């Protein structure tokens, strides 16, 4: 069980959740993807389930109830998650968004790619960068 990786995806788009989960399972069957539909649901889970500490958090920027910037700021206030990389996963490729989220504590930024193969390649790069 030690080599099982838990990724927590916070994204309000069901299709994006499904594609992301499939990409992770294609990369490695030991990667488990847990999803939350928005920042409020994610923070509730992260704040109330003491044992829930994912290896990676992937966060969409453009969500309705709480946007990704607000959620990122709140995640960074949870001490046990200090060392957990938060990777922004967004359709936005705006340099301002990338710089702003890194200032707020994001470890990386993935622009949602147009194909499954590109998504898998980018996720592999991110996962390898933290799990060597």
Q: How many domains does the chain have?
A: 1
Q: Would 13 be classed as within a structural domain?
A: yes
| Domain containing residue 64 | 5-124
pLDDT over 60 at 1, yes or no: no
Angle at 120 between CA 114 and CA 125, to 5 degrees: 115
Q: Would 129 be classed as within a structural domain?
A: no
99-112 pLDDT, tens per residue? 999 999 999 999 99
28-60 pLDDT, tens per residue? 999 999 999 999 999 999 998 777 899 999 999
At 94, the pLDDT band (50, 70, 90 cuts) reads: very high
Residue 56 to residue 81: CA distance in whole angstroms: 10
| pTM beyond cutoff 0.85 | yes
pLDDT score, position 72: 97
Q: Would 28 be classed as within a structural domain?
A: yes
Contact status, residue 110 vs residue 118, Cβ threshold 8 Å: no
**Mean pLDDT for the stretch of residues 13-29:** 95
Beta bridge partners of 108: 87
pLDDT over 50 at 132, yes or no: no
| CATH number for the domain that contains residue 90 | 3.40.50.2300
Structure-block tokens of residue 131: 């799990």
The mean pLDDT value of the chain amounts to: 92
pLDDT over 70 at 2, yes or no: no
Query: 10 Å Cβ neighbour count for 78?
Result: 13
The DSSP result for 27-73, as a single string, is H-TTEEEEEESSHHHHHHHHHH-TT---SEEEE-S--SSS-HHHHHH
Residue 110 to residue 88: CA distance in whole angstroms: 6
């Amino acid at each position: 069980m030690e080599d099982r990786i838990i990724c927590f995806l916070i994204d309000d788009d069901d299709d994006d959740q499904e594609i992301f989960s499939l990409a992770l399972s294609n990369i490695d069957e030991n990667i488990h993807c847990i999803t939350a539909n928005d920042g409020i649901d994610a923070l509730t889970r992260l704040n109330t389930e003491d044992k829930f500490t994912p290896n990676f958090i992937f966060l969409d920027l453009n969500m309705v109830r709480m946007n990704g910037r607000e959620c990122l700021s709140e995640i960074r206030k949870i001490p046990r998650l200090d060392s957990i990389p938060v990777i922004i996963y967004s359709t936005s490729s705006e340099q301002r968004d990338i710089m702003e989220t890194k200032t707020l504590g994001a470890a990386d930024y993935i622009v949602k790619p147009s194909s499954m193969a590109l998504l898998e390649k980018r996720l592999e790069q991110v996962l390898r960068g933290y799990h060597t």
